[in-house]
Amino acid sequence: MLELIRYIHLNCMRAGLVKDMHALDRYRWSGHAVLMGYEDRPWQATDEVLSYFGRRLGVARKKYRQFVFDGISLGRRQELVGSAKRQPWQEGERVSRSRYDNRILGSNAFVEKLLTEEESIIQERVLLKRKRINVEELMNVIGKQFGVAKEEILGGSQRRVVGRARSVFCYVGSRKLGLTGIELSQALGLTPAAVRYAAVKGENLLREDKEVDEGMANYLINLTTSP
């Protein structure tokens, strides 16, 4: 998503409508100016985009702007402009459209990977929804994994281990169990943007901490296989 946002906002520069980043920052016909605070459009998802770059507005804008600037040297990227020429792949003599979706920008291999993952997530969420997993149960499980009490996760503790547990809670709750942003933000007393930022951080933490990742994976497997 961030790659696509950057690419779209740099269209103005590639087309010669603006000559540099300073001009792009203030170009009123681009969403980039809104993210930089020079234009105001309440309907634009400014908080959501900036939440990927930092919690504090000033820091997030600075990192976002650098991210966009770094994309200038990448030039035109075919994988981000789509292609009407891409065709459904062949399965014997029958054309299969299960791996073909014009809404997704990228190579055929990327489309196939993304749709396969989507199907797996949907199936998992259907099973988990039947279990009626709630916020409190998930919080207890994650608290046990990190050795912290549920009250600490809810209480806004600044301890590093509690912050890690809170981030994993947001990631697993939103991405794996399908809990809504409202449910998670109400449970933690955070804004929806902060929940999204924490979910990204939680995903990265699970990649780095294999022990916790394995524990959460086993928990989800048990949920989907138990009667």
pLDDT tens-digit series, residues 46-59: 988 999 898 899 99
pLDDT-above-90 percentage for the chain? 19
Q: pLDDT value at position 31?
A: 93
Mean pLDDT of all residues in 118-143? 66
How confident is the model at residue 36, as a pLDDT? 95
Read off the pLDDT of residues 207-218 as tens digits, 9 standing for 90 and up. 877 777 676 666
Pick 142 or 58 by higher pLDDT: 58
pLDDT at 83 over 70: no
66: pLDDT strictly greater than 50: yes
Between residues 217 and 29, the one the model is more confident about? 29
SS (HEC) of the chain: CHHHHHHHHCHHHHCCCCCCHHHHHCCCCCHHHHHCCCCCCCCCCHHHHHCCCCCCHHHHHHHHHHHHHHCHHHCCCHHHCCCCCCCCCEECCEECCCCCCCCCCCCHHHHHHHHHHHHHHHHHHHHHHHHCCCHHHHHHHHHHHHCCCHHHHHCCCCCHHHHHHHHHHHHHHHHHCCCCHHHHHHHHCCCHHHHHHHHHHHHHHHHHCHHHHHHHHHHHHHHHHCC
Torsion of CA 182, 187, 189, 191, to 10 degrees: -20
Any idea which architecture 133-225 has in CATH?
A: Orthogonal Bundle (1.10)
Q: pTM (2 decimals)?
A: 0.44
Confidence band for 93, pLDDT divided at 50, 70 and 90: very low
Pair 48, 193: CB distance under 8 Å: yes
pLDDT at 20: 92
Q: Reply yes or no on whether the pLDDT at 40 is more than 70.
A: yes
pLDDT score of 214: 72
Q: Looking at the chain, which residues constitute the CATH 1.10.1750.10 domain(s)?
A: 133-225
Lowest mean per-residue pLDDT among 93-102, 135-144, 178-187: 93-102
